[in-house]
Amino acid sequence: MSRRLPAAELAVVFGSGLALVPEGAEVLDEIDYRDLGWPLSTVAGHANRLLLARWAPDGRRARRVLLAWGRPHLYEGWTDSELERPVDDLADAGVRNLLLTNAVGALEPALATGEAIVVTNVVDLQRETRDRPAVLPVATAAGARRLATALAPRLPARPGRYVAVPGPQYETPAEATWLRGFGEVVGMSGASEVRAARRRGLRVSMLSLVANPAGAVLGHDEVLAAGERLGASLAAGLAQLVAALAEPAPGADAGADADPAASAPSSRPPGSHADTGGRAP
């Protein structure tokens, strides 16, 4: 029998090399994903552990937070419903605020390693389409700017779009150029989690940290090392971000901005986008 999750208000999912315990947080429990019946990742940098912590971010009221160290990926053979299972369980445990983090490749040339994108939309290229890809709303531009401003003293951030590709191989320079028509950063996760969070009525946010320029020749070890360096930047800004998430947003944060696929290329490049690579966030 799978173990039930402890109750918590907030959950944070950490991507490749980004897992951490926030400064000042007290770890109350640690659970293996196997004991929860969750899908496992076999990718380095994903520990398959869930931590329950008590934390007072930015000196505010202490709250119970679930910290998910790692995530499974579509390319590892899991189905959409299996990838959505953790989000459903978090919602059942009382979580109403979900923060997703990942290490990504920069499609926008002006983005530097170490910068962060507060995601407004996920452009889902993981599912085959005959026309334009699905665009999943995460935050309005105004909501994303508010979170980026909260991060600014500790971590350079701005709003942008995240392109979810199947993986597991990394994109070629030509593929990176084509993908630039859809968004600012690219990775291999997020779509299933955002879809499940929206279905369950959670307030979802996504923070993507740039590990490298998309299209660069590299391996996962290099991405993982970059993710571990980015972990220090994430740790510095996480308290401010979580504190901002806890505040009532001026107006609705959830909702789509203008559809980035409306003027973007067809969802099929030369060949199939199933052969397009990205990050292993």
95-148 pLDDT tens trace: 999 999 998 999 999 999 889 999 999 999 998 776 778 999 999 999 999 999
- Would you say residue 92 lies in a domain? yes
**Would you state the pLDDT for residue 265?**
59
Total domains present in the chain: 1
- Would you say residue 106 lies in a domain? yes
- Would you say residue 2 lies in a domain? no
- Would you say residue 281 lies in a domain? no
Contact 101, 117 (CB under 8 A): no
Task: Say which CATH number the domain at 112 has.
Answer: 3.40.50.1580
- Would you say residue 237 lies in a domain? yes
Closest by CA to 47, choosing from 88, 27, 19, is 19
Contact 193, 89 (CB under 8 A): no
Closest by CA to 89, choosing from 191, 205, 16, 193, is 193
Q: What is the mean pLDDT of residues 237-249?
A: 81
- Would you say residue 102 lies in a domain? yes
Structural domain of residue 134, as residue ranges?
10-275
Q: pTM of the prediction? A: 0.87
- Cα 82 versus chain centre, distance: 17
Distance CA 48, CA 106 (A): 26
Answer with the residue of higher pLDDT: 26 or 59: 26
- Amino acid (one-letter) located at 238: L
**Would you state the pLDDT for residue 258?**
47
* Residues 166-212 pLDDT 10s: 988 888 899 999 999 999 999 999 999 999 999 999 999 999 999 88
Mean pLDDT of the chain: 84
- Would you say residue 5 lies in a domain? no
- Would you say residue 1 lies in a domain? no
| Distant-in-sequence, close-in-space partners of 162: CB < 8 Å, separation ≥ 6 | 102, 104, 117, 119, 121, 122, 123, 138, 183, 184, 185, 186, 187, 190, 206, 208
